[in-house]
A and B are shown apart, each in its own frame.
Chain A
């Protein structure tokens, strides 16, 4: 069995295989301030009164925090009232991005099935969990029943041989893989990542990898737990040697260089040399993809004692309050602010185009986020390039798209 087949089999109490339709219990459910309000409306309309288990359900205010207008402030209030009535946790503005918060607060653990009303719920595959994004009405039904129906997915196995070279990060690797698989190449399917390139990765890097399975169209993406270190004990779930895969793809990545996604589709990925030197207006590091401590550290490493190019804006959105505090306590934040960065409230920030840094017409953005669709950041007349945090920092420093390995430290 694949990892997905093993996790689902354990939940439904019988051996399942790809293609089977199942109704499975879930271990955790969450919604945000984008998807939550519609979910609560649907919950009431379908006759829901109590959520199935308040300790397994969470609401997170992250997509528009602090609220930029009264309409969104009122939606936040609605979520607060519901959470209080139900006795479930609501993570307030500034606590962080849903995916970071769910992992930090252990709402999801290895072997779990987790349903989140956000497409990047796949992120928890970093934890050896089966995690799936859904929309508001599916979420409402899961809140009410504690279950979801699904088809057991077929799996694509991606094996990456070799260790990434210095200055090349998990983001470069996943951008490369999204380019290879394409934006619809894994639709309805699960991905399993394994091989030397992943084995030495931190949890944060594994989250970056699993996060962008959404940009392959995948249902879930699970990183093989070999080498995974967590702050608690867990039983890793490995695939069987004779598991059936739809496809097995192998790459040698030891010589991979910095990657960049060109507007306006995340799978339009090239080696950075193709666009090096292109002037930028705006640099952003943050999001569920790359707003963690190691991401801020990699930016600080490049910017220590330096100033970003005059005329460039540089925003940083820590993925959570905990990340912000850690970055502050160890001095990383000070380096970044002294270099010219502005720090925004932990949350999704400008990635969702609602507030906190909408680009102007004809501006070029380099972002450590996961999507560069037209209009993504709130202005269809701007261009968004996606890259690793080190590349974003190096580009902010030089005022143009820059390979971080070319910056003298």
Chain B
């Protein structure tokens, strides 16, 4: 799983209300989530994001509510991977559960000008601009397994139970 998409860089503590405001969450038409993704943070994001792009963030990405619509909105918008210094707990589980790749790399200096190549399962992020490699914080094997299956739905369809 290698991601080399264009990057969009944001800051610390991006909460789920800013990823997808609560008023848009009550739907099963997931395509509508992409129309409002990050709109209170960066209204231009939904128009500039493309399939396969990478979102870069600072600390505590996805804090706040348990809404799975937050990672779903990013995935629907085309985001293939979120790289952050660290993630809020529920967002972290939700992202893996819906098959959105995420990598936690600790403090970083990735900027708008960086060009990123990320090896998701190996847990490596390479910034070509600064010729710098980041090692990801290791995920539990069960999460790697869930991600490799494309999410918890497929994982449980196959295994019927957790394999730990």
Contact = CB atoms under 8 A, between A and B. Distances in A.
B63 A21 contact: no
Interface in B38-84: 40, 59-60, 63-69, 72
A184 B62 CA distance: 11
B22 A352 contact: yes
- Among A34, A118, A121, which residue has the most Cβ atoms of chain B within 10 A? A34
Interface residues of A, number: 52
A183 B91 CA distance: 14
Given A137-B98, A373-B15, A375-B18, A35 B28 contact: no
Size bin of chain B's contact surface: 35 or more
Nearest to A121: B66
Interface stretch (A142-150, A329-337, A393-401): A142-150
A135 B22 contact: no
B26 A183 contact: no
At the interface, is chain B mostly helix, strand, loop or mixed?
loop
A184 B63 contact: yes
Interface of A: 21-23, 33-35, 37-38, 41-42, 45-47, 63-64, 71-72, 75, 117-119, 121, 133-138, 140-141, 144-145, 147, 149, 151, 183-184, 187-188, 217, 219, 265, 352-354, 371, 373-376, 378, 380
B106 interface: no
A50 B100 CA distance: 28
B162 A149 contact: yes
A370 to B, nearest CB: 10
B161 A183 contact: no
Contacts of A353: 17, 21-23
Contacts of B25: 34
A151 B141 CA distance: 12
A134 B98 CA distance: 13
B156 interface: yes
A46 B152 contact: yes
Contacts of A46: 152-153, 156-157
Nearest to B141: A21
Contacts of A38: 28, 68-69, 72
Contacts of B59: 184
A219 B93 CA distance: 12
A22 B164 CA distance: 7
A26 to B, nearest CB: 13
B28 A47 contact: no
Given A47-B157, A134-B66, A378-B23, A141 B89 contact: no
A37 B89 contact: no
A164 B32 CA distance: 47
Contacts of B21: 353, 375, 378, 380
A119 B152 contact: no
Contacts of B72: 38
Nearest to B85: A184
A138 B93 contact: yes
Contact of B68 (A22, A63, A137, A376): A137
A144 B162 CA distance: 12
A119 B98 CA distance: 18
A135 B15 CA distance: 15
Given A47-B157, A183-B13, A375-B40, A133 B22 contact: no
A187 B61 CA distance: 11
A193 B50 CA distance: 46
B151 A137 contact: yes
Contacts of A64: 26
